C-alpha cells in the first residue's frame, strides 16, 4: 500500500543512518591505521625530527621555491640531529626525510578533518544516536590531544639529544591506539546488530580482558623498544647472546629504571610479553573451539589466532633482519590489526549477533 510505504520509508532511513555512521568510523580506522604505519616509517627512517617547528594551520603547505627550501633546511641545521647525526647532509637528502615527516603530519590533519566534518554533518541530520554523541565528542577531543602530544614528543628530540623520549613515544602511540580502539568498537556496535539471546556461557569463558591487556602492554613495550632502538641489539631468537636471560638486565639504578630505560631489559620484556600473548591467544582459540554459536564468533576466534601468529612472526623477522624500515613498518601495522582482532573477538563472543545492521 502507498500509505504503508510512506510510513516505512522514514524507519528505513533511520536504520540506515547508524550503519552509515559505522562505515564512516571504519574508514577513520583505516586512515588511522595508515597514519600509524607512516609514523613507524618516519621513525625508522630517522625523519621525525626533520621539521623543527609546529604550525597547525600554515604547516599544511610544504616549502615552495628554492628560497623556502633553503630556509627550512637552515632551521633543520640548527637542530641536534643535524649537528650530531647528519652533519654535512645535502639539501636533496634533507628533502627525503622532510617529506616523510610532512606526509605524516598532513595525514594526521586530514584524519582530523575526516572525523570532524562528517561528525558535524551526521549530527545536523540527526543520524548520530543520542547515546553516542558524547563518546564521539570525546574521541574528537582525544584526537586533538593526540596532535599536540605528537609535537610534545618531537620537541623532546630537538633540545640536546637527537632522539625523542621513549616515554613520550609510548604515550603518543598509546593514545593513537586508544582512539583507534574506541572508533572500531563503536563501529562494530553500529554495523553488527544485537539480539537479547546473549551467549552468556561463552561470554564468561572468553578471556577478552586478559587478551586486551596483554596486547596493550605488549604494544606499549614495543614503543619503548623503538624509542630506545633496542631492536638493533641481540638480533637472535630465541636466545639473546646465547642465553635465555641476557646480561646487563639490571645495570641501571634504581632497578625500576631498567624496565623502561635499559634497552636489554626492554627487549627481553617485549619478547616475553609477545610470546605470552601468543600462548594465551592460542589457548583461548582451543578452549572456545566447541562454544561458537554463530559464524561471527568462529571467524573472529580464527582471525585472532591467525593475526597473533602473523604478528609474532613479523616481530621475529624484524629482529633477525636488524629492523629494516619496511618490515618494522609492517610490524607496527600488525600491532594495530592484532588490536582490531582482539576488540572484534571480544565483541562477538560477549554479544549474540544476528548479522549486519
Render each residue's pLDDT in the chain as its tens digit; 357 residues: 444 444 444 454 444 468 899 999 999 999 999 999 999 999 999 999 999 999 988 889 999 999 999 999 999 999 999 999 999 999 999 999 999 999 999 999 999 999 999 999 999 999 999 999 999 999 999 999 999 999 999 999 998 889 999 999 999 999 999 999 999 999 999 998 655 444 455 666 788 899 999 999 999 999 999 999 999 999 999 999 899 999 889 999 999 999 999 999 999 999 999 999 999 999 999 998 888 788 888 999 999 999 999 999 999 999 999 999 999 999 999 999 999 999 999 998 887 554 443
Residues 88 and 208 in one domain: no
152 and 291 inside one domain: no
Q: Are residues 146 and 220 in the same domain?
A: no
> 100 with 41: CB under 8 angstroms?
yes
Query: Domain for residue 4, yes or no?
Result: no
Q: Are residues 145 and 223 in the same domain?
A: no
Domain count, the chain: 2
How far from chain centre, in Å, is Cα 168? 15
Q: Do 139 and 213 sit in the same domain of this protein? A: no
Domain check: are 346 and 247 in the same one? yes
Q: What pLDDT shows up at residue 108? A: 96
Query: Strand runs (DSSP E) across 14-149, as ranges?
Result: none
Do residue 188 and residue 146 come from a single domain?
yes
CA distances from 276 to 79, 210, 272, 283, 316 (A): 41, 11, 6, 10, 14
Count Cβ atoms below 10 Å from residue 149 Cβ, excluding itself: 18
Q: What is the pLDDT of residue 63?
A: 95
Residues 160 and 189 in one domain: yes
6 within a domain of the structure (yes/no): no
Residue where one domain finishes, among candidates 194, 229, 252: 194
In a domain, 174, yes or no: yes
CA dist list (Å): 173 to 36, 45, 72, 73, 169: 8, 17, 27, 28, 6
Domain span at 118: 11-194
Shared-domain flag, residues 219 and 317: yes
Q: Are 92 and 233 found together in one domain?
A: no
Instruction: Report yes or no on 5 lying in a domain.
Output: no
pTM above 0.75, yes or no: yes
CA 99/CA 48 separation, integer angstroms: 10
Among 194, 223, 239, the domain-final residue is 194
Decide if 39 is inside a domain: yes
**pLDDT recorded at residue 305:** 97
Among the three residues 143, 163, 194, which one is the final residue of a domain in this structure? 194
Examine residue 160 and state whether it is found in any structural domain, yes or no: yes
pLDDT of residue 293: 80
Q: Beta strand 192-194 with 353-356: parallel, antiparallel or unpaired?
A: antiparallel
Q: Is residue 332 part of a domain?
A: yes
Q: Are both 98 and 182 inside the same structural domain?
A: yes
Give the Cα separation of 118 and 105 in Å (integer).
20
- Residues in contact with 155: Cβ distance below 8 Å, sequence separation at least 6, in sequence order: none
Does any domain span residue 2?
no
Q: Are residues 243 and 170 in the same domain?
A: no
Contact assessment for residue 95 and residue 69, using Cβ atoms and an 8 Å cutoff = yes
Amino acid at each position: 500500500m502507498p500509505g504503508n510505504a510512506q510510513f516505512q520509508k522514514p524507519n528505513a532511513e533511520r536504520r540506515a543512518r547508524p550503519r552509515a555512521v559505522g562505515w564512516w568510523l571504519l574508514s577513520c580506522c583505516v586512515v588511522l591505521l595508515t597514519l600509524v604505519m607512516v609514523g613507524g616509517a618516519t621513525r625508522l627512517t630517522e625523519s621525525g625530527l626533520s621539521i623543527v617547528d609546529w604550525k597547525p594551520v600554515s604547516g599544511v603547505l610544504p616549502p615552495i621555491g628554492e628560497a623556502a627550501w633553503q630556509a627550512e633546511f637552515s632551521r633543520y641545521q640548527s637542530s641536534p640531529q643535524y649537528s650530531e647525526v647528519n652533519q654535512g647532509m645535502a639539501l636533496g637528502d634533507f628533502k627525503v626525510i622532510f617529506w616523510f615527516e610532512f606526509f605524516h603530519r598532513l595525514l594526521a590533519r586530514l584524519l582530523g578533518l575526516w572525523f570532524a566534518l562528517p561528525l558535524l554533518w551526521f549530527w545536523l541530520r540527526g543520524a548520530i544516536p543520542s547515546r553516542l554523541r558524547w563518546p564521539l565528542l570525546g574521541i574528537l577531543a582525544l584526537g586533538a590531544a593526540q596532535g599536540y602530544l605528537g609535537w610534545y614528543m618531537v620537541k623532546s628530540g630537538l633540545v640536546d639529544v637527537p632522539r625523542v623520549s621513549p616515554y613520550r613515544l609510548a604515550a603518543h602511540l598509546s593514545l593513537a591506539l586508544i582512539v583507534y580502539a574506541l572508533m572500531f568498537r563503536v563501529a562494530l556496535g553500529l554495523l553488527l546488530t544485537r539480539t537479547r539471546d546473549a551467549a552468556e556461557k561463552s561470554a564468561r569463558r572468553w578471556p577478552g580482558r586478559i587478551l586486551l591487556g596483554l596486547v596493550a602492554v605488549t604494544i606499549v613495550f614495543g614503543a619503548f623498544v623503538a624509542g630506545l632502538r633496542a631492536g638493533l641489539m641481540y638480533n637472535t631468537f630465541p636466545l639473546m647472546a646465547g642465553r635465555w636471560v641476557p646480561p646487563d638486565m639490571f645495570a641501571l639504578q634504581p632497578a625500576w629504571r631498567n624496565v623502561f630505560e635499559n634497552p636489554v631489559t626492554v627487549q627481553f620484556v617485549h619478547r616475553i610479553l609477545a610470546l605470552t600473548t601468543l600462548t594465551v591467544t592460542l589457548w583461548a582459540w582451543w578452549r572456545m573451539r566447541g562454544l561458537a554459536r554463530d559464524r561471527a564468533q568462529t571467524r573472529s576466534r580464527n582471525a585472532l589466532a591467525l593475526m597473533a601468529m602473523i604478528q609474532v612472526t613479523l616481530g621475529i623477522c624484524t629482529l633477525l633482519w636488524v629492523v629494516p624500515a619496511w618490515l618494522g613498518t609492517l610490524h607496527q601495522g600488525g600491532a594495530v590489526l592484532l588490536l582490531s582482532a582482539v576488540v572484534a573477538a571480544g565483541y562477538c563472543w560477549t554479544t549474540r549477533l544476528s548479522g549486519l545492521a
